[in-house]
Amino acid sequence: MAMNESEATRILRDMARVREETWGFFFYRTCYYNDDTRWGKFLARMKEFAESTLLKLRSYNKDGGGQILLNKLEWNIQSHPSFDGCSKEEIWRRHRELMRSLYGEYDATVIKHGHPIIVDKVSLDSVLEAPGPTEWRPVHTRESTAHVTVLDMQWFDLREAPEDDEYLPEDEVGWAKVLAVKVHPRLYSMLQSGLWSQVVYCVPTEISRLP
């Protein structure tokens, strides 16, 4: 990254290299199908976090890259009552099939394919109970429990064949709770750079706050 280049511009450059026109994650709604208003508030809050972060003049938008990246952000929302209460394993199976249906093939090395986000009742409530972007302070980055769950599709893929289990590390997990305010674009940037191991450095019950 050039000295005066923002992280947003670096993300854009890497997108251009692989000919990606848009970026973002697939979100799976696994809760509150009896309360669309609450889901709508959650989604609005996540969009507010993304906009607030990307338009910061001293960081992501110092060279205009943040605004461009915001314009290219795509929200792929998977919302259907059949997802209500789905396990991580079931989302893994359904997401893989969706990728094959949408793109003709499934490639877990591509961020949209390899790292869907699950929103369950606990994570949705945590985001709505947390301060919004205008009230967010550094102390919240350190202490807030507002999070979503990110899957590592490759972890599940490798464990699909039972005979391979004995060769795989037992202390690894295939998901991480990530601080909601860090999803766009910090999580994406780290995944783009192949840094998933740094996302899941903490135990599953804790929240990865990302550097």
Spell out the domain ranges in the chain: 25-163+171-200
Distance separating alpha carbons of residues 52 and 161, to the nearest angstrom: 43
- What class does CATH assign to 25-163+171-200? alpha beta
Q: What is the token pair recorded at 87?
A: 């396990």
Is residue 12 within 8 Å of 188, Cβ to Cβ?
no
| Residue 3 pLDDT > 90 | no
Query: To which residue do tokens 């807030």 refer?
Result: 144
Cα 41 from chain centre: 18
**What is the end-to-end Cα distance of the chain in Å, rounded?**
17
DSSP, residue by residue, 14-37:
HHHHTT-S-B--EEEE-S-TT-HH
The pLDDT of residue 204 is: 60
The pLDDT of residue 202 is: 59
The pLDDT of residue 104 is: 98
The pLDDT of residue 199 is: 81
* pLDDT tens digits, one per residue of 121-175: 999 999 999 999 999 999 999 999 999 999 999 999 988 876 656 555 555 788 9
The one-character DSSP state at 193 is T
* pLDDT tens digits, one per residue of 46-80: 999 999 999 998 899 999 999 999 999 999 999 99
